[in-house]
Amino acid sequence: MKVGGLDRHLVSAAILQPAMFGPENFAGDEWVESYMRAASRLLDLEVRTYVTWQCPPDVFVLAAEDAGLVIRSERLDGLLVEMLTLHDVQSLLGGQLLEEVSQSAVLRWMSEFLIGYRRPALAVTALRNRPSLDGLQVQIHHAFRDELLDSRPLLERTAVQCISVGHEMRHLVEDVDARYDVWENIDGIPVISHIDFDMRNVDKVDDDSLQRFHAFVSSTVDATRLVKEIHADLFAVDTVLEFCLRAFDCRSEDAVRSTLAAFETLVFTYFLKNACRLVAELSTGSKRRDEFDRALVLENLQWVARGRAVARHIGLSWAQFDNSTPEGALIAARQNVARVDAMITERLAGRLANNRAFDHAVQALLDTLERSGKEQITVAEALAHVDSDGDLRKELYFMLVGFGCPGSVDVRTYLEDADRTVHTVQA
Amino acid sequence: MGLDRMPGRSYAGLMGELVLTLETDAVASDDLRHALAEGTVGHVSAARKSHLDGSAETVILIVQVATLAASSVPTILLPFLNRKRVRKFKCGDIEIENPTPEQVEQLWERCMKAQAEG
């Protein structure tokens, strides 16, 4: 089916070249389609959905005059599913093996995002920094989308596919003029309490230090954006949880577990993508190193707040699903918030390994950048590595096939084009 | 009928038109939208773009420019280009990221020429 009228211009303008796009027909994803229909009705929103391919993982929304447009790349769902698989693999590993498997996956994803931010030299560097896992039969990445999606149980896979869409759809109805500060209440608790939780409960800092921290947060965090993101997160987890319960007739605990895992996956994906955007901005000189460091700290604070707000909210929602009386729900709420905390703790070792892998990966990329922000490795040098290293070329080739590029795709040409600022638009 | 635009209509379609696509940051989008609508007698459609990575919202502008007013486009865009408010500029089969005034002028010339030649 062809895309006509204004949508064609809007989507074409919004996607990265040389990406292609068309109306999403949800082939093999009928549960995602069903979720989107339900979420659209709930939000009283006309939504048209497009799928893009030949591009890195991404999802975004366009608030057009007559409808909301949701544009998802084919690759995004696959990447989220890979993260779920990594969680499982990590639970079987320890020591150096855990570190190297996590580093390998994180660097591969960063490489994809860096291609998306048109930094092919950094993308090649990230891929070359991966530890060798020769001889280890760990199948986290698949080149083919269907194979990848089928590798996970339906409940988990649906939750992870729907949560990013639900989050983005909620943004379509947000009040663009609304303004918030860090004292805004979410489920009866101010956002700042999620941000300073560790300082109060783990570090047990004194009141003066806490006040100084509050002043720092108030003056640096974009509270309006943070609160709007939390609103979108809460809508996504609520609707995905309820959808899974109704669609799959599963135990509420399983639906909660899958929704929580989906959100956790989303958090790490977003964080990784944001960090790659910051590295890209540093490498082009549009951010200085001190600005980069500060932005990364603020990203961290943002995700801490969002993660805590969502974890608490899921516990409260769970109580309502399982109890028809207010009294029962009130008692269950306390218990369920604690049960959700326990679920989060189950994947702690893997999460910490991912964080260490991220720190390691970012440090290695920063080492390739000069103080001025210029890349030490040029695109020509990166392409020379691609030409001379068959394994690297093969890795990049399967990455591009995973993006939805045709089998005839030429790695060198794709990377060269990613480096240009002037692009020829696909017909 | 005076020179006021008809509600919801553009004169562009009556006189031949060029379609120009811009991506701009949200701060400048209203000013740019008004400047283009007034300066080109064209119709401007806008859509907010929110991204997965939480980066600052941008706005996509689709501008149908009447060919008679087309030559004014680079001049209208100049202050926005100088302030680096335009992230993408697209016309015909070419797209430029973070365009300079010179690049916009060259590409726009090319688009006007292609339009004139039919």
Q: Where are the domains of chain B?
A: 12-116
Nearest to B48 among A63, A270, A302 (CB): A63
Rounded to 5°, the CA angle A306-B50-A106 comes to: 60
CB contact under 8 A, B93 and A62: no
Over range A65-77, report the average pLDDT: 90
* Banded model confidence at residue B10, pLDDT cuts 50, 70, 90: very low
Q: Which residues of chain A make contact with B62, given a CB cutoff of 8 A?
A: 6, 9-10, 13
CB contact under 8 A, B54 and A6: no
pLDDT at A29: 86
* Banded model confidence at residue B16, pLDDT cuts 50, 70, 90: low
Q: How many angstroms away from the CA of B89 is the closest CA of chain A?
A: 9
pLDDT at B9: 40
Q: Which residues of chain B make contact with A69, given a CB cutoff of 8 A?
A: 47
Residue of B nearest to A116 (CA): B53
pLDDT at A284: 84
Q: Which residues of chain A make contact with B27, given a CB cutoff of 8 A?
A: none
DSSP-derived secondary structure for A69-107: EEEEEHHHHHHHHHHHHHHHHHTT--HHHHHHHHHHHHH
Radius of gyration of chain A (CA): 22
Residue of A nearest to B46 (CA): A64
Which three-class secondary structure state does DSSP give residue A194? helix
Q: How many angstroms away from the CA of B35 is the closest CA of chain A?
A: 19
C-alpha distances (whole Å) from B45 to each of A83, A329, B79 are: 38, 48, 21
ipTM: 0.81
Nearest to A14 among B45, B52, B60 (CB): B60
Token pair of A354 as six digits: 């991912």
Which three-class secondary structure state does DSSP give residue B25? strand
pLDDT, averaged across chain A: 89
* Per-residue burial over A236-263, b = 16 or more CB atoms within 10 Å of its CB, e = otherwise: bbbbbbbbbbebbebebebbbbbbbbbb
Identify the H or E element spanning A49.
Answer: strand A47-53
- Contact between B88 and B95 under an 8 Å Cβ cutoff? The reply is yes
CATH of the structural domain B12-116, one choice from 3.30.70.120, 3.10.20.740, 1.10.3720.10, 3.40.50.1820: 3.30.70.120
CB contact under 8 A, B52 and A168: yes
CB contact under 8 A, A423 and B88: no
Token pair of A98 as six digits: 């855990």
CB contact under 8 A, B62 and A60: no
Token pair of A372 as six digits: 């001025």
- Contact between A321 and A259 under an 8 Å Cβ cutoff? The reply is no
Phi then psi for residue A423, to 5 deg, are: -130, 145
Q: Is the pLDDT of residue B1 over 60?
A: no
pLDDT in tens, B49-80: 987 666 778 999 999 888 888 899 999 999 99
- Contact between A418 and A115 under an 8 Å Cβ cutoff? The reply is yes
Nearest to B62 among A10, A118, A423 (CB): A10
* Rounded Cα–Cα distance for residues A117 and A110 (Å): 10
Strand partners, B88: B23, B97
Torsion angle in degrees (nearest 10) through CA of A352, A358, A360, A361? 160
* Rounded Cα–Cα distance for residues B101 and B109 (Å): 12
pLDDT at A3: 60
Cis bond before residue B99 (omega within 30° of 0): no
Q: Which residues of chain A make contact with B21, given a CB cutoff of 8 A?
A: 9, 12-13
- Contact between A32 and A162 under an 8 Å Cβ cutoff? The reply is yes
Torsion angle in degrees (nearest 10) through CA of A22, A28, A31, A34? 40
pLDDT at A81: 93
CB contact under 8 A, B19 and A9: yes
pLDDT in tens, A132-173: 887 776 777 777 788 888 889 999 999 999 999 999 999 999
First CA to last CA distance, chain A:
15
CB contact under 8 A, B21 and A9: yes
Q: Which residues of chain B make contact with A13, given a CB cutoff of 8 A?
A: 21-23, 60, 62, 88, 90
Strand partners, A63: A68, B48
Q: Where are the domains of chain A?
A: 75-182+221-427
* Rounded Cα–Cα distance for residues A189 and A180 (Å): 14
Q: Which residues of chain A make contact with B45, given a CB cutoff of 8 A?
A: 6, 9-10, 64-65
